Structure 1
Amino acid sequence: MSNVNEIIEKLKTLTLLEASELVSKIEETFGVDASVSAGAAVMMAPAAAGGGEAAPKQEEKTTFDVILEEIPADKKVAVYKVVRSIANIAVNQVKDFTATLPKTLKEGVSKEEAETAKQQLQEAGAKVKVA
């Protein structure tokens, strides 16, 4: 009998509690998560075997950009006023500033500041996104 067949036969004799402990130990040893799909587990296994460390968790984003995507023709004046205050530019610069869209109005700002700017622009009629 091959090693794989021997292991399978031994696994068949495990109690539910023992099987649960085995899964936990495999997750700990190889840095994998048994709750992920089989395809993802297979992809993680070679990386875990090489370094022995689990993949780093994705950090939560702390800075955001406010991007002006579209200004409806009938809302230009209202949107220009808000753009002027957000971008802190002169009245005569607003039209040139918004001539090509999408345009980033604010870069690297807090979530609260980005949401406030987005809300002001949307209330004026602009199409905006925070990225």
Structure 2
Amino acid sequence: MAKLSNAELLDHFKDMTLLELSGFLKEFEETFDVTAAAPAAVVAAGPAAAAEAVEEQSEFDVVIEAAGDKKIQVIKVVRELVSGLGLKEAKELVESAPKAVLEAVAKDAAESAKEKLEAAGAKVTVK
């Protein structure tokens, strides 16, 4: 078998379809036990990254983990919290827990919603 130069190999690859190249790549990876994925670059965290981590979170998600025994009460509170939500949608939201009820709200609004839902019997987390 004649040894091919890099230029000859590239010319041959140019003539192949994407499907053929994909198959070749899989065989190459299996044969030589390698991967064609680019190595992930590791970046050291500098002082700017540390300052960002200290910054307080400004938006919160209110997530119903479980409806509890008083599902009807929880559905009523969900309808009160989420404007424009019908009875069917509120029921589906509560029954598909864990599910976000409110997303990207202020801390005060998230805590208030959590208190209302917990008072109705739901298990709630604020993320």
Place the TM-score, normalised by the shorter chain, in its bin.
0.5 to 0.7
Gaps of at least 5 residues in structure 2 are 1-43
1:54 is aligned to 47
* Aligned-partner Cα distance in 1 for 2:108–2:81: 14
C-alpha contact (below 8 Å) 2:64/2:124 kept by paired residues: yes
Which stretch shifts more, 105-114 or 85-94? 85-94
* SS across alignment from 2:65: strand
TM (norm. structure 1) is: 0.56
1:87 is aligned to 82
Over 3 Å counting, the alpha-carbon distance change for 1:55 and 1:93 in structure 2 is: closer
Following superposition of structure 1 onto structure 2, how do residues 39-78 of structure 1 map, counting pairs within 5 Å? 47=44, 54-56=47-49, 57=51, 58=53, 59-72=55-68, 74-78=69-73
* C-alpha RMSD of matched pairs (Å): 2.0
* SS across alignment from 1:82: helix
* SS across alignment from 1:62: coil
* Higher helix proportion (structure 1 or 2): 1
1:115 is aligned to 111
TM (norm. structure 2) is: 0.58
C-alpha contact (below 8 Å) 2:67/2:95 kept by paired residues: no
What amino acid sits opposite 1:102 in the alignment?
P
